[in-house]
């Protein structure tokens, strides 16, 4: 068994929830915050049998979009702060950041 941990954008979370349920996967949704953008995102924990991993990844891939997001750095990337003018930069976020972890033991009471 494996635990899929998938960090996705909030905008995709309802669609992904519905798709996972429709395809028979069980999942837990956690509210999370990205370390870089410091804005909300959603983390899914999905417990799956080894042979279901590719099917689960397919559902995630099909329901999570890559988007460009403008972010204004709070501190200069380099140099001094004297003449610092915050300039928005564009970063590409998602579709999904996925970790697949081995599950040593699973109990469901
Ligand atoms: P954030 O940390 O808010 O990052 C949002 C996006 O900002 C990232 O998109 C990436 O394009 C950019 N970014 C992140 N750190 C950067 C840096 N040091 N310099 C320049 N650009 C940077 P994604 O890579 O698609 O990541 C989306 C979210 O997935 C992240 O939100 C974070 O919550 C999670 N994540 C990504 N990689 C992770 C990792 N190795 N471990 C844990 N969580 C991760």
Give the Cβ contact number of residue 23 at 10 Å.
12
CATH code at 37? 3.30.70.120
Secondary structure of residue 10 in the 3-state scheme = helix
Question: What pLDDT shows up at residue 71?
Answer: 83
Q: Is the CB of 68 under 6 A from ligand 1?
A: no
Q: How far is CA 55 from the centre of its chain?
A: 17
Q: Is the CB of 91 under 6 A from ligand 1?
A: yes
Parent domain of 57 = 2-73+86-102
Residue 16: pLDDT band with limits 50, 70, 90: very high
Calculate the dihedral angle through the C-alpha atoms of 109, 15, 12, 6, rounding to the nearest 10 degrees. Answer: 30
Calculate the dihedral angle through the C-alpha atoms of 99, 28, 12, 91, rounding to the nearest 10 degrees. Answer: -40
Question: What pLDDT shows up at residue 97?
Answer: 98
Q: Is the CB of 106 under 6 A from ligand 1?
A: no
Atom of ligand 1 nearest to the CA of 43: 33
Question: What pLDDT shows up at residue 87?
Answer: 85
User: What are the tens digits of pLDDT across the range 33-71?
Assistant: 999 999 999 999 999 999 999 999 999 999 999 999 888
* Closest residue CA from atom 9 of ligand 1: 93
Q: Is the CB of 55 under 6 A from ligand 1?
A: no
Question: What pLDDT shows up at residue 86?
Answer: 77
User: What are the tens digits of pLDDT across the range 69-108?
Assistant: 888 766 655 556 666 677 888 999 989 999 999 999 999 9
Q: Which of left, alpha, beta for 3 (phi over 0: left; psi -120 to 50: alpha)?
A: beta
CA of 108 to the centre of ligand 1 (A): 33
Question: What pLDDT shows up at residue 78?
Answer: 58
Residue 16 counted as domain residue: yes
pTM, two decimal places? 0.89
Domain count, the chain: 1
């Amino acid at each position: 068994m494996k635990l899929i941990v998938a960090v996705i954008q909030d905008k995709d979370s309802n669609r992904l929830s519905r798709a996972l349920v429709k395809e028979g996967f069980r999942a837990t949704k956690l509210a999370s915050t990205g370390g870089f953008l410091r804005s909300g995102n959603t983390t899914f924990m999905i417990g799956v049998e080894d042979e279901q991993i590719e099917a689960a990844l397919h559902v995630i891939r099909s329901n999570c979009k890559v988007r460009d997001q403008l972010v204004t750095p709070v501190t200069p990337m380099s140099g001094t702060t004297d003449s610092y003018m915050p300039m928005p930069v564009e970063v590409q976020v998602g579709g999904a950041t996925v970790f697949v972890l081995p599950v040593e033991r699973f109990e469901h009471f």
